[in-house]
């Protein structure tokens, strides 16, 4: 088998916080059954059901009988009997599985043809599964967050130094709160083993069917690399650079960031009826061009560093503006809203208009798992550590060279991980060059600000033992998967039907936005790409994979 797994010291003691968790779950370790029952109301409504399964707490310690109760949720197949189960992961890391499956339940079964049970697991660190929390309560968390502000690196020349100090604060808070132990148990390799325990307990064919988005592509790649013989069907969509993720310092992520921003502006200018920014609401500045808009927005970003302003009790500064743009680029249905907000800022700013736009804006909810699970999982997984902030200079320069707009986005996380006091007890340390039992379906998009096509191509080079497959690798593989679906109607890839395009809307659709509909990409290119009809442009969001897969099979 073409992988190596590093096993960390088995002598690490289980510290107090964990004993508390484990004590409540002490029982005979058993993987033979999952008990399904109605979900708690706050998790999901029928038809979703919830289940539990005991798994080993620490896979590296076979003398321990301590267990962990994995929590699962299932959307039963519409057509019974089910043809099997598809295990899902919604990314993050830090997103739970159960509530997200609950949210997506109205769409996903259609998206998978309704023939499979769809199962999500709360990965370690999320939900109630060893929740990764460095603070005893929300008051303390808010105090911590007031210190660890995570400003964008370019907000001032003093910011990188401050971020470095903040990273140590987070390391101190988390290291002390968790006695460095929880952080050793939430790594992706353990989660991969948990997923296989679920496969075992399901008692189907012993093979995994898996559908993962974003970070779920790293989890899926890890499962594939650790258990290549047990892969039935695997769909990875919105793929991170798995090698960079493994080592730390993810540079490639931003390679299409500016292109996505440009796509947003082009789409805006092409559809002024649905894009305030193109119309120009004031100053007689109507009929702006994309190039002029781009220039004025970069100019605004520069000016706002020294001239932040207040909207009610909120400050719009460089970081806030960058975060708004970042959130918008990830979610094309919010583009008209993003355009309104940017227009209102350029327009003076128009404070009363901004106040009303920002009041309930989803764009303000910068993604966050609600606790510290993101660094807890991500930083524990990666190898890179340093005590010298200068060691991050090449990373910072490389990101800025790839993206003018997004290059300074990652420094806060990079520094947190560099100073992180914990490490996963097990990490997959191989090279991801494996031949899986069945080829993996890898999906990338032409303009994705976080999980670019280049990273999908990169992953495709290793799987199946192909070497240097280059650009055609993804397309070729995709094509084969499509052919496979057509030729073998009973394929178990979750194939996505038209109704699934509504999946895009499950994130909420701002008033005035026409229903999302999707363009199919010409089959010549092979790779599906999606564009929202009302703003034609190359786009990608994590949910767009539904549509990508749909395009792939119809």
Ligand X SMILES: *[C@@H]1O[C@H](CO)[C@@H](O)[C@H](O)[C@H]1NC(C)=O
Contact residues for ligand X, defined by CB under 6 A: 19, 22-23, 26, 28, 65-66, 136-137, 139-140, 154, 175-176, 179-180, 241, 243-244, 252, 282-287, 296, 301, 346-348, 400, 404-405, 407-408, 421, 458, 461, 468
Name the residue number minimizing CB distance to ligand X: 286
Q: By C-beta, is 346 or 527 nearer to ligand X?
A: 346
Pair 219, 526: CB distance under 8 Å: no
Could you tell me if 461 and 473 are in contact, meaning their C-beta atoms sit under 8 angstroms apart? yes
Supply the minimum distance, in Å, between the C-beta of residue 449 and ligand X: 13
The helix or strand, by DSSP H or E, that contains position 255, with its residue range, turns out to be none
Residue 280 structure tokens: 């120009």
- Measure the CA–CA gap between 501 and 551, rounded to whole angstroms: 10
- 318-329 and 257-270 helices cross at what angle (nearest 10)? 80
In this complex, which beta carbon is closest to ligand X, that of residue 128 or of residue 176?
Answer: 176
> Based on CB atoms, which residue is closest to ligand X, 136 or 365?
136
* Distance in Å, CB of 308 to ligand X, minimum: 15
Closest to ligand X by CB, 142 or 498? 142
- The residue among 28 and 313 lying less far from ligand X, judged by its C-beta, is 28
**Cβ-based nearer residue to ligand X, 90 or 132:** 132
Dihedral angle over CA of 489, 490, 491, 497, nearest 10: 60
Q: How far is the CB of 266 from ligand X (least distance, A)?
A: 17
With H, G, I as helix, E, B as strand and everything else as coil, classify residue 293. Answer: helix
Q: In DSSP terms, which residues pair with 426 in a beta bridge?
A: 7
* C-beta of residue 205 within 8 angstroms of C-beta of residue 84: yes
Smallest distance, ligand X to C-beta of residue 437, A: 22
What distance in Å separates the CA atoms of residue 466 and residue 460, rounded to the nearest whole number? Answer: 8
Question: In the bound complex, what is the minimum distance in angstroms from residue 370's beta carbon to ligand X?
Answer: 16
Question: Both tokens of residue 502?
Answer: 């509504």
Structure tokens at 96: 């739970």
When the beta carbons of 405 and 478 are compared against ligand X, the nearer one is 405
Nearer to ligand X, 99 or 416 (CB): 416
Residue 541, phi then psi, degrees to nearest 5: -130, 170
Q: At what angle do helices 335-346 and 351-359 cross, to 10 degrees?
A: 160
Q: In Å, what is the CA distance from 329 to each residue of 51, 366, 371, 444?
A: 36, 12, 24, 16
Report how far residue 422's alpha carbon sits from residue 412's, in angstroms, rounded to the nearest whole number: 17
Minimum distance of ligand X from residue 451's CB (angstroms)? 14
Q: Which is nearer to ligand X, 404 or 497 (CB)?
A: 404
Rounded CA-CA distance 10/389 in Å is: 31
CB of 85 to ligand X, least distance (A): 29
In whole angstroms, the minimum distance from the beta carbon of 106 to ligand X comes to 36
Distance of CA 403 to the CA centre of its chain: 20
User: Which of 19/506 has CB closer to ligand X?
Assistant: 19
Between the CA of residue 244 and those of 94, 160, 441, what are the distances in Å? Answer: 19, 21, 20
* Min CB(329)–ligand X separation in Å: 13
Q: How far is the CB of 463 from ligand X (least distance, A)?
A: 11
Do 2 and 431 meet the contact criterion of CB atoms below 8 Å apart?
yes
Is the backbone peptide bond immediately before 388 cis, with ω within 30 degrees of 0?
no
């Amino acid at each position: 088998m073409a992988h190596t797994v590093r096993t960390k010291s088995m002598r690490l003691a289980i510290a107090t916080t964990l004993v508390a968790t484990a004590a409540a779950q002490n029982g005979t370790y058993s993987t033979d059954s999952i008990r399904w029952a109605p979900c708690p109301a706050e998790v999901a409504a029928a038809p979703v059901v919830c289940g539990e399964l005991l798994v080993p707490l620490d896979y590296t310690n076979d003398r321990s009988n301590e267990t962990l109760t994995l929590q699962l949720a299932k959307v039963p197949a519409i057509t019974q009997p089910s043809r099997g189960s598809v295990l899902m992961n919604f990314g993050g890391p830090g997103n739970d599985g159960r509530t997200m499956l609950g949210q997506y339940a109205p769409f996903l079964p259609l998206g998978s043809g309704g023939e499979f049970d769809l199962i999500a697991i709360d990965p370690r660190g999320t939900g109630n599964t060893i929740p990764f929390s460095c603070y005893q309560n929300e008051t303390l968390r808010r105090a911590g967050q007031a210190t660890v502000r995570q400003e964008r690196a370019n907000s001032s020349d003093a910011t990188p130094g401050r971020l470095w100090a903040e990273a140590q604060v987070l390391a101190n808070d988390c290291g002390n709160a968790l006695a460095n132990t929880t952080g050793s148990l939430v790594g992706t390799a353990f989660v991969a083993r948990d997923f296989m325990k679920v496969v075992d307990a399901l008692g189907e064919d012993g093979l995994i069917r898996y559908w993962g988005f974003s970070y779920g592509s790293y989890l899926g790649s890890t499962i594939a690399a650790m258990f290549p013989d047990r892969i039935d069907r695997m769909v990875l969509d919105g793929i991170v650079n798995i090698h960079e993720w493994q080592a730390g310092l993810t540079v490639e992520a931003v390679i299409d960031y500016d292109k996505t921003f440009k796509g947003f502006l082009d789409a805006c200018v092409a559809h002024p009826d649905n894009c305030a920014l193109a119309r120009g609401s004031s100053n007689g500045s109507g009929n702006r061009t994309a190039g002029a808009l781009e220039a004025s927005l970069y100019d605004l970003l520069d000016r706002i560093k020294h001239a932040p302003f207040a909207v009610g009790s909120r400050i719009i500064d460089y970081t806030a503006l960058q975060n708004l743009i970042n959130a918008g680029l990830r979610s094309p249905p919010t583009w008209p809203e993003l355009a309104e907000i940017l227009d209102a800022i350029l327009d003076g700013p128009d404070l009363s208009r901004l106040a009303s736009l920002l009041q309930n804006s989803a764009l303000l909810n910068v993604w966050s798992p609600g606790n510290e699970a993101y660094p807890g999982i991500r930083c524990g997984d990666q190898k890179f550590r340093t005590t010298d902030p200068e060691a991050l200079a090449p990373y910072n320069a490389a990101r800025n060279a790839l993206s003018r707009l997004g290059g300074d986005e990652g420094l806060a996380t990079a520094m947190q991980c560099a100073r992180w006091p914990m490490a996963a007890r097990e990490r997959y340390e191989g090279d991801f060059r494996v031949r899986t039992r069945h080829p993996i379906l890898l999906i990338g998009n032409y303009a994705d600000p976080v999980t670019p096509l280049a990273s999908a191509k990169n992953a495709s080079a290793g799987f199946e033992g192909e070497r240097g497959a280059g650009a055609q690798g993804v397309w070729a593989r995709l094509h084969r998967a499509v052919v496979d679906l057509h030729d073998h109607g009973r394929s178990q890839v979750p194939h996505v039907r038209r109704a699934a395009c509504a999946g895009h809307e499950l994130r909420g659709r701002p008033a005035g936005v026409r229903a999302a509909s999707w363009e199919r990409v010409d089959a010549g290119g092979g790779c599906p790409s999606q564009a929202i009809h009302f703003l034609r442009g190359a786009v990608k969001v994590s949910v767009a994979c539904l549509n990508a897969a749909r395009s792939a099979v119809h």
